[in-house]
Amino acid sequence: MTYEMPKLPYADNALEPVIGQQTIQFHYGKHLQTYVNNLNNLVPGTEFEGKTVEQIVASASDGGLFNNAGQVLNHTLYFTQFTPNQKRAEPTGKLAQAIIRDFGSFAGFKKKFDEASVTLFGAGWSWLAADKDGKLYITKEANGSNPVRAGLTPLLGFDVWEHAYYLDYQNRRADHIESLWKIINWDVVEERYQ
């Protein structure tokens, strides 16, 4: 099995000014491409040959194989959850109901998610994830980890590695996090929750 780059569902300048074209070119075009290349070089001859990235992330021990698989999974979910033409600022249907059930309101969820994103020390990811029964959790994952490690399904992820926002926001992580809400494709996130 060869691991491939996800196809962007928008042009590399379409998310401006939230995520600039130069950031997409470096973050997607260089960082993610390197993770994909590394994973393709690391997997052959291991027990993970023929496995999906989710299977590798769920069971690989920490190290190069796990980190690169994690970053391929994380970035694939990340880049495919955005749209330049946001239809609505909040989810609807079952996901909206679950957010209200588990966080009290969308505003309450957003506040907790923002806090998790801003307070994660160093590099990593904040995730909205669901268990097999549909209960929602907000997780903070260091480096290349993902909620898959805990048996959860990742639904929405914010990348808080500096390379995700430094060209556009310098060290203003909170401003970057606040801006991301303007480009979430809730159809994609809701589909992940089904």
How many C-beta atoms surround the C-beta of residue 55 within 10 A? 13
Residues of the chain with pLDDT under 70: none
Q: How far apart are CA 19 and CA 133, in angstroms?
A: 34
pLDDT at site 5: 96
pLDDT of residue 167: 72
Domain spans, the chain = 21-79, 93-193
Q: Can you name the residues that pair with 24 across neighbouring β-strands?
A: none
pTM, rounded to two decimals: 0.94
HSE, CB side, 13 Å, CA atoms: give it for residue 22. Answer: 6
What pLDDT does 164 receive?
Answer: 76
Residues whose CB is less than 8 angstroms from the CB of residue 47 and which lie 6 or more positions away in sequence, other chains included: none
The helix/strand/coil state of 137 is: strand
Torsion of CA 38, 43, 46, 52, to 10 degrees: 140
pLDDT of residue 170: 85
Of the candidate CATH numbers 3.55.40.20, 3.90.1170.50, 3.40.50.150, 3.20.20.100, the domain formed by 93-193 belongs to 3.55.40.20
pLDDT (0 to 100) of residue 172? 82
Task: Tell me the pLDDT tens digit for each residue of 126-167.
Answer: 999 999 999 999 999 999 899 999 999 999 999 998 877 777
- Place domain 21-79 in its CATH homologous superfamily: Fe,Mn superoxide dismutase (SOD) domain (1.10.287.990)
- Helix 33-42 / helix 64-79 crossing angle, nearest 10 deg: 140
